[in-house]
Structure 1
Amino acid sequence: MLLLLLFGLLAGAATALSPCVLPVLPIVLAGGATGGRRRPLGIVLGLTGAFTFATVALVYVIDALGLPDDLVRSLAIAVLLGFGVALAAPPLAARLEAAIGRLTAGRGVRARGEGLWSGVLLGAGLGIVYAPCAGPILAAVITTTASQSLDAQRLAVALAYGAGTGLVLYVLMLGGRRLTRPLSRRSGRFQQAMGVVMVLLGVAMVGNLDLRFQSAIADDLPQALVTPTSAIERSGRVRDALADLRGGDHGRGPGGSPRNIGPEAVRRGDRLPRLGRAPDFVGTQRWFDTPGERPLTLAGLRGRVVLVDFWTYTCINCLRTIPGLEQLDARYRRAGLTIVGVHSPEFPFERSASNVRAAIGRLGIRYPVVQDNDLATWSAWGNQYWPASYLVDATGEVRWAHAGEGAEDAKEQAVRALLGEAGRPLPSAEGGFDVPTADRGTTTPETYLGALRIRSTLADTDVGVHDYPALPARLPADAMALAGRWRLEDDRAVAAGGARIGLRFRARHVYLVLSSRRRGAAVRVLLDGRPLPRARAGADVRHGVVRVGQQRLYDLVDLPAVADGRLELRLPAGVSGYAFTFG
């Protein structure tokens, strides 16, 4: 815990020295250069407190009310513009200062605090403005706290982050007072100039220029500095052995298959190889479908065969494997098999405990599932795939692995072999699995809409707001294009007005991960230029329209067979698209 607090302190200090501090710096200098000598301290205290509130408490309110994820950023921009206008217009600044004076008069600010409490109020306003500056680090804090119950440790980490930021800003204010003391005779004009700078920065943030700047910097950084899992220690004993079982590709989809150590080896009477001690479930969050939702450990499961399955609920390849896992669970749980689904998210909203719980209920999963929001368990196993399955024997050794869909029969044979080694009585083999599979002939690869991985006919695919021309009359095979106004972010594209998506595909099924600021937003679906007919509509489409409610994978198109088609989607403002998958 001490190391985590130190990390939070250093991370906050580093954030305060980054370019994103620019929106706050004018207010810090202007606020710290005026008022009593204790005002800078008040600003730091107010900023730290409000910042902690924004990172811990506000996110719970946003999640509970189903409000958009970028609400904190929108509020920050509004506060920034408000402060800027107030400082730039002397009459408004006078009224604001008078209001602060009335709020603090009863506390003896002028007599004893020398601006302390007025600084606290100003710093509290800055706290929410400063929140977007934290970038990826703050995102990790927010998504972690949003998926768990609030406790003293998470509150302490957020406070440490705010304290690190506050210390650096305090030093900047002390230096700013020395630099601005010669300007004290012209303090009014200095404040007006700072107000104009703040308004300009607020307008820049409205246009997402700050996001573009941060993305440009990130593009030039070493990958190890921007990959969330790069600094997590992996389990070397198992990693190398498991690497031999995987192919060269990674990511979603079938990926590489392990060496054939399944049914053929069992039929020959060969024992499954020992690949090393299995890493435990580390760095996890909520558990589901366990007694009292208490965590499981491999030590506590010793004596049972454990199947560890890495998945995420928007991955169609993962979803197609779940019926087979459920059938294995029903057949062999009493015989000594425990399946643990490790939910390792790809998109930010998949870190929400309520979203994961809803997906578990929707899919009818009865075996235990744990959230791996920070990909700590994923990294401990050296995993690279959605989905991926690993079998652990009764002594805690990894004995079998498979990446991607399929291999249900081989998986069952391996389970039976390990249960037999453990001396467990085996039920009769029922034979066969009722699972959906991808149709042969599907050629269109997974297609992302976020700026980091977008594949499109468009030239302008960087982070920010873009106005695209009308969809082209013809699209190349397996190509996608956008039309209308869109806001591209790293992992998604957000419709902003007159938004359209055109997609040329070859598949039987088309799926798209969607979310919406407004529940029930209607997305129109057209196939080959006409409203999608009922006979070819996916499970989530009614009368040519898909209603976007939960943040999840939506089934759009269901053709009789694999075929070429042109899909067009018309999205209202506020709907976000993440990735197309096909089957």
Structure 2
Amino acid sequence: MIGLITLAADTGVNETVLTGALLLALPVAVLGGLVSFFSPCVLPLVPGYLSYVTGVSGTDLAEARRGRMALGASLFVLGFSAVFVSYGTLFGNFGLTLDSYRETITKVLGALTILLGLAFMGVLGGFTQREFRFHSRPAMGLAGAPLLGVLFGIGWTPCIGPTLAAVNTLAFNEASAGRGALLTVAYCVGLGLPFILAAVAFRRALGAFAWVKRHHVWVMRAGGLMLVAVGVLLVTGVWDRMIADLQVWSSTFTPGI
């Protein structure tokens, strides 16, 4: 993650932060990552992922060395982060290229985000509930962890698809490759940090996972409601007005130091 954050900084992150435009989008991106992690087609498989990327059998995970567990989880997170950050960079660059049509495209993407939010809540059926994933797997253990992360990033839908699509819509709206990269880094922090924490404290994490699994319907509804809300803000133009207000505020803000 450190390397990805450095890359984002080299492509214009400092300018982004100073404008204040991401003060609203970054928390949404982090929350989107967390919602993706706790979705019912990711959370139940966390023990399996950790077992695979560390080379430790599922029954031995609780007793495995924390260093190995943390390293395997981190390599896995780096793998899917590389994929997602490239998506964000691409969408941000598209936003810059198509700036003259940005308002219309943003509304269309906002409407799509609303539909994805409804699908995430389970309101829509059919194709929105199907899963598409790669069934080929790399070698088990630390060496295969980054590649498994890449495969996860490319082929795991629909559970992470709606939230990631919303973040990419925000990246498009930012009209900057650097800002798009930063937004998806934030998304990857929200999605990846729980993986690493679960690896470091696996036994304690099992209790938290059990609670979330019992209440997964409400988790999905809350996540879908967040996506619908973001979509409505984009379609109505309220998002752009909020960003403009934040830019004005940040331009007049003077640090106390």
Under a length normalisation based on structure 1, what TM-score does the superposition of the two structures give?
0.27
8 Å CA contact 2:23, 2:246 repeated in 1: no
Q: 1:100 aligns with which of 132, 140, 145?
A: 132
Offset of 1:57 from its aligned partner?
4.7
Does residue 1:130 correspond to 2:170, yes or no?
A: yes
Offset of 1:90 from its aligned partner?
6.0
- Mark the CA change 1:212 to 1:28 in structure 2 (over 3 Å): closer, same or farther: same
- Report the equivalent of 1:194: 223
- Report the equivalent of 2:238: 209
Offset of 1:84 from its aligned partner?
0.4
- Report the equivalent of 2:68: none
- Mark the CA change 1:18 to 1:187 in structure 2 (over 3 Å): closer, same or farther: same
CA distance in 2, matches of 1:3, 1:46: 14
Q: 1:45 aligns with which of 57, 78, 82?
A: 82
Q: Which has the larger radius of gyration?
A: 1
SS at structure 2 position matched to 1:18? helix
Offset of 1:77 from its aligned partner?
0.8
8 Å CA contact 2:33, 2:191 repeated in 1: yes
Deviations 1:477-519 (A, max 9, x none): xxxxxxxxxxxxxxxxxxxxxxxxxxxxxxxxxxxxxxxxxxx
CA distance in 2, matches of 1:133, 1:80: 13
Where does 1:168-567 land on structure 2 (aligned, <5 Å)?
Answer: 168-175=186-193, 181=209, 182-223=211-252
CA distance in 1, matches of 2:231, 2:8: 33
8 Å CA contact 1:76, 1:128 repeated in 2: no
- Mark the CA change 1:184 to 1:174 in structure 2 (over 3 Å): closer, same or farther: farther
8 Å CA contact 1:42, 1:117 repeated in 2: no
- Mark the CA change 1:98 to 1:164 in structure 2 (over 3 Å): closer, same or farther: same
Structure 2 unaligned regions, length at least 5: 1-5, 50-72, 198-204
- Report the equivalent of 2:36: 31
Offset of 1:19 from its aligned partner?
1.4
- Report the equivalent of 2:69: none
Structure 1 unaligned regions, length at least 5: 142-157, 226-583
- Mark the CA change 1:213 to 1:12 in structure 2 (over 3 Å): closer, same or farther: closer
Offset of 1:31 from its aligned partner?
1.3
- Report the equivalent of 1:470: none
Where does 1:59-138 land on structure 2 (aligned, <5 Å)?
Answer: 60=97, 62=98, 68-89=101-122, 92=125, 95-101=127-133, 104-105=134-135, 107-108=136-137, 113=148, 115-119=152-156, 122=161, 125-126=165-166, 128-132=168-172, 134=174, 138=175
CA distance in 2, matches of 1:188, 1:75: 28
- Mark the CA change 1:190 to 1:211 in structure 2 (over 3 Å): closer, same or farther: same
CA distance in 1, matches of 2:95, 2:251: 33
CA distance in 1, matches of 2:132, 2:28: 22
- Mark the CA change 1:42 to 1:207 in structure 2 (over 3 Å): closer, same or farther: farther
Deviations 1:325-357 (A, max 9, x none): xxxxxxxxxxxxxxxxxxxxxxxxxxxxxxxxx
CA distance in 1, matches of 2:247, 2:21: 17
Is the strand fraction higher in 1 or 2? 1
- Report the equivalent of 1:55: 92
Deviations 1:267-289 (A, max 9, x none): xxxxxxxxxxxxxxxxxxxxxxx
8 Å CA contact 2:167, 2:187 repeated in 1: no
Is the helix fraction higher in 1 or 2? 2
8 Å CA contact 1:72, 1:131 repeated in 2: no
Deviations 1:214-260 (A, max 9, x none): 233334334599xxxxxxxxxxxxxxxxxxxxxxxxxxxxxxxxxxx
Offset of 1:100 from its aligned partner?
2.0
Q: 1:167 aligns with which of 179, 185, 202?
A: 185
Q: 1:21 aligns with which of 6, 17, 26?
A: 26
Identity %: 13
CA distance in 2, matches of 1:3, 1:54: 16
SS at structure 1 position matched to 2:101? coil
Deviations 1:421-480 (A, max 9, x none): xxxxxxxxxxxxxxxxxxxxxxxxxxxxxxxxxxxxxxxxxxxxxxxxxxxxxxxxxxxx
- Mark the CA change 1:12 to 1:48 in structure 2 (over 3 Å): closer, same or farther: farther
- Mark the CA change 1:5 to 1:202 in structure 2 (over 3 Å): closer, same or farther: closer
The code of the aligned residue for 1:131 comes to A
The code of the aligned residue for 1:20 comes to A
- Mark the CA change 1:175 to 1:16 in structure 2 (over 3 Å): closer, same or farther: farther
CA distance in 2, matches of 1:6, 1:13: 13
The number of equivalent residue pairs is 193
8 Å CA contact 1:16, 1:168 repeated in 2: no
SS at structure 2 position matched to 1:100? coil
